[in-house]
Structure 1
Amino acid sequence: MADEIDGLLGIDQQKHAGWHADSIAVRGYEGIDARTGSISYPLYQSATFAHPAWGQSTGYCYSRCGNPTRLELENTIALLEGGKKAMAFSSGMAAITTLLKLLRAGDHVLVSDDLYGGTYRLFSNIYTQYGLEFDYVDLTDPDVLAASFKPNTRLVFLETPTNPTMKVADVAAVGEAAHAHGAVFAVDNTFLTMYFQKPFELGGDVVIYSGTKYLCGHNDVLSGFLILRDNTLLEPLFNATMSEGNQLDPFDSWLMLRSLKTLGVRLRQQERNAKRIAEALKANPHVTDVFYVGDPDHQNYELSKRQTTGFGAMISFKTDTHERALAVLERTKLILFAESLGGTESLVTYPLVQTHGSIPKPMLDKLGIDDRLLRLSVGIEDIDDLLADLEQALA
């Protein structure tokens, strides 16, 4: 294992010191190919690598172990996040699955009660079979959080903002509580990305992404990431992914490097659009509730301002009737009725049936995920066109 990890132990966090996120995203960690000067980092579409001689290595042997294109992506992500090491996976769910390999039968996990349905399904339908215990609690409530720890709590898993009701937890407070009980603190940062929120600065040990979403931004790559604050957890996680083979392939790694170059440009435009849309939805007579963390009326607005540098572009809202919610899905023309989020195209989703279909009804009822709730991922289209599309769809 030591030989396989050698050379992959982490990044120089001072590389490109003083550069802002936009510059790092455009240039990348190494940035250019040292041999040719290519400004597009090369795609190493190779499964295996030749050794110069016995006992000698180029640093690579087999792409499941390490691939230059994937390593450049991982190092760029780690540098942007402010972590020591990133690991790229074939999906966000593959990343979460690998994280769970830190646990053993009998371990207890505290999880956000409002979270992506696929994560709930993975935890409750799959990993309970292996002896793990999961409790879904309101991590935004300090009293509930304090009362939920057990002697065997080993992991706290936080989504913030939550999916789909956009609750916001005090990340630093949750991290402090997790560490006081000897638990690893993992933050799913998919909705805001490192561009708007830095969980490591708030006490996170591991940051998780569905890279398919904002980091990709073009709805054409499935990917996931684990980023580690330091190398403490690297060996067991690297051993797990080496054994299971769920890493991101070279071509998708290359596409992700290309996507990252426009991360800041996309997020700024998406957030500008989202603020306008949230205002319009609040003023619409057929909308009863709007959930957007950038709305000054959001219950956690001041907390978001303290711990983030932006609000992102995810909005959930409720229509006045079930029939109108379904009509919106049918009537939108520019906005697409499709699952996923974070891309340049605006997408509307019906959480009750789509993203949260695996959640038990009592839990859905508690969270307010009902047949009137829609989730909107705001894209980069012209804002006037988006507003007009929503207005006619809600009429």
Structure 2
Amino acid sequence: MKITGIVTEYNPFHNGHLYHLQETRRLTGADYVVVVMSGNFIQRGGPAFIDKYSRTRMALKAGADLVLELPVRYATSSAENFAKGSVAILNNLGNVSSLCFGSETGALDKLNKVAEFIVSDDKQYHQLIAESVKDGFSYPVARKKALLTCLGQSDDIPLNTMLEQPNNILGIEYLKALKIFNSTIKPFTMKRIANHYHDAELLQDMQETSINSATAIRQEYFKTETLYKLKTSLPGFVYEILSESEGKTYPVHEQDFSQMLYYKLRMLETSQLIEFLDVSEDLARGIKKELVNYQNYTDFAFCLKSKRYTLTRIYRTFMHILLGIKQNQFNPSDSRAFSPYLRVLGLKKSSSAILKEAKSSNFPIITKMADAKKILSKEAYSLLEEDIFASDIYNQVVYSKFNTKLPNEFLQSPVIL
């Protein structure tokens, strides 16, 4: 039984994701594909466009065999922790033989050279990063400057371009995580085609199908408030799911959390803000100082954006404060401690052999939330509680906006197709 893992957000699922699934099977010869997917909040620091169970249904209809949830702590974190959390889950499943991810370069050897250097823990590299951060640069810029200095720019590894492209950066982090966890999972990468991850405009063509980024699809929907123009960018089954739920459970936008965020920021002191993940003392002071200018979620993020703090970093900070996610307490070098359970969001009946084999390792697998407290350690359950709380907050926003009551995590069963 050959099982390949992929890591996704599906926000929402589109033709590029379908291509990724199909190519993953072809490249790796997989019998089964396991998806690690973000839940109701995503890596750029905002809510998912549509809830995680709808996106799980999309994934299973597209050909995924098993969908596991990436804990919200990692789903809303930096590329490093997003990748670590995802790889830890695949590693802990115990029967995954490969990981396939998209990248702008499509060259595994080039990405691997960078990952190997970073994992080597070079002293000059860390010193250069610290100096750049001290000079006011954001961490991503500081890291890029340090890598260019240590590795140099060459035709073999065009770092200047590679380190500006989000899928390359995430690919490097997946490779790092595999090395840190001493995983036997074999990595594969495929070159991203058509629209790029951050492209905000739909590609204009007259074909029956087109590949556009999830960012472009969301932006177009928020601009036009209609699904029809997106039809060629989405598989038919996704268009059908979105059509059924439109105006009932989605779209959800960060602006929908504006009042909730203001209340939380207003209630907390600077000393309390710095307890949350990604909140430095300097940023906490800036939040309290500028709070008098607060209008909404998005505008306040732009108000705080600076040379040191990227917009995405600020969005993530907001989400960690809003969801009560505090500084990391899990061991980053041990995959079983880093992601101490597997949470099943959905499964194909025909693929139940994956879980049957995984259960033989006695690693905690959550299919019924009511059983979680009995089988998890106190520390592991505290990680799961963050997801329970996050879903409650998301569901309440859906109810306030659409008057639709989504089941809470104790009432919602995994999606089975």
Using the size of structure 2 for normalisation, the TM-score is 0.27
| Structure 1 or 2: more strand by fraction | 1
| Structure 1 or 2: more helix by fraction | 2
Q: Which has the higher contact order (CA 8 A, sep 6+)?
A: 2
